[in-house]
Structure 1
């Protein structure tokens, strides 16, 4: 979708136009990274923005390319593109940031931390889905679906609206972005949130991330009955509490 002229935007070094909203305030700024085919107008992003305004905290939300109001088609994108978009968005800010990553955004937050650890003061993940293109999508495909994908793309049903279009580029490029195969150093506070009723990202993924990452201060919170949206009032309050906890650790 092309950018609405009333929404601020910037152009990445790769030439993609990214729509964003920036709330001025004190640092470290909080940056929200959304999920696969979601946009910056989602419940969690808006809730965090209101909290940031009320508390005087700098806050940034944006649409990856191919999402929301940013340029390009969704099917043109891949994990690497959206990671580059996130890095460029963080480049709008001065100093260190707290990254809040939801679902795919959790994976991208880990890529950001690996690529620019000097910019990250802490991470909060919500139903993080690291390596999902390989471990969930590709691993879950039948032989027929794998053959269809190699010819171009596969459509998967989604309870959130239109089918997800999985492209060959998404899968193949994603293999260059995996974070659970090699050492993953996260030298700052990390809070991971996971619902027990999440059918999109299993609890085993959260446990695998907890065991794999090397962090001096990493905690996993399981919420009984919470689903992948993680957007009811209690879950939203827990996200804010987790962000405040990280901020309290880093000053």
Structure 2
């Protein structure tokens, strides 16, 4: 059943939560995705069977949460995630970040490391607004963003195009995690498909090299795309959760 959290920032976030053993699991979705996606629902069902606490939610401007997508930015969505974790979970959590959610997870790890037991990145896309999205725009599209405040890009996962705003790019510059020291003092597991059309293999390799982490692994899956939602891939995610969980969980 969907419930709603009213955040200190004045937003209403849709969420689904189940109680269970700790550390709990928090799923952080991708850019313009919502908590009804394949990975989020699969992980909730798995958590129920495993008796694990689990939380999935919609960022503001996504799914059933309040606000318009075009009004949001990385900083807003990281703020939403922090509010949800603070209000709806207790103790350290295993963060499972998909695509943009991987960036959000790294921001949370930097802002509230005491609440992170482990981090799992699924096609994680840190710094994507600066490193991949902006460079992929044509000069005309970049000019549109600068002069009119937004431009459009085709969306391979939806009939509606992506509306990319000047605020998204400007805020993204202030949320970068691969330009300064990044301490991740807990287990980190990264998973990436070799045919991911949205996140290049160089991204997790760069994160692997950049982060200060004593227990960090990267798993590449041959021929898998950005969705990473086949039964085998979903089982890899739950195997990683089990791997970073305490023996008593």
Q: So what's the TM-score if we normalise by structure 1?
A: 0.96
Secondary structure at the residue paired with 1:214? coil
2:208 aligned residue? 210
Unaligned runs of 5+ in 1: 1-5
Structure 2 CA distance for aligned equivalents of residues 116 and 140 of structure 1: 32
- When residues 136 and 250 of structure 1 are mapped into structure 2, their CA distance, relative to the original with a 3 A threshold, is farther
2:157 aligned residue? 160
1:3 aligned residue? none
The aligned length equals: 246
Aligned counterpart in structure 1 of residue 108 of structure 2, from 108, 112, 118: 112
Q: So what's the TM-score if we normalise by structure 2?
A: 0.97
Residue 7 (structure 1) shift: 2.4
Secondary structure at the residue paired with 1:165? strand
Unaligned runs of 5+ in 2: none
1:228 aligned residue? 226
Residues 36 and 104 of structure 1 are in contact (CA less than 8 Å); yes or no, is this contact kept in structure 2?
yes
The RMSD of aligned alpha carbons is 1.1
Question: Quick check: 1:20 aligned with 2:18?
Answer: no
Structure 2 CA distance for aligned equivalents of residues 180 and 250 of structure 1: 34
Aligned counterpart in structure 2 of residue 47 of structure 1, from 34, 42, 49: 42
Structure 2 CA distance for aligned equivalents of residues 45 and 244 of structure 1: 17
Runs of 4+ in structure 1 deviating by more than 3 angstroms, as ranges, are: 248-251
Question: Quick check: 1:80 aligned with 2:54?
Answer: no
1:195 aligned residue? 193
Structure 2 CA distance for aligned equivalents of residues 173 and 13 of structure 1: 20
Residue 60 (structure 1) shift: 0.2
Structure 1 CA distance for aligned equivalents of residues 131 and 138 of structure 2: 13
Residue 55 (structure 1) shift: 0.7
1:128 aligned residue? 124
Aligned counterpart in structure 1 of residue 170 of structure 2, from 161, 169, 172: 172
Residues 155 and 166 of structure 1 are in contact (CA less than 8 Å); yes or no, is this contact kept in structure 2?
yes
Residue 166 (structure 1) shift: 0.4
1:102 aligned residue? 98
Residue 145 (structure 1) shift: 1.2
Aligned counterpart in structure 1 of residue 241 of structure 2, from 240, 243, 250: 243
Residue 250 (structure 1) shift: 9.2
Aligned counterpart in structure 2 of residue 33 of structure 1, from 25, 28, 32: 28
Structure 2 CA distance for aligned equivalents of residues 249 and 181 of structure 1: 35
Structure 1 CA distance for aligned equivalents of residues 247 and 67 of structure 2: 38
Aligned counterpart in structure 1 of residue 139 of structure 2, from 134, 138, 143: 143
1:56 aligned residue? 51
Aligned counterpart in structure 2 of residue 65 of structure 1, from 55, 60, 66: 60
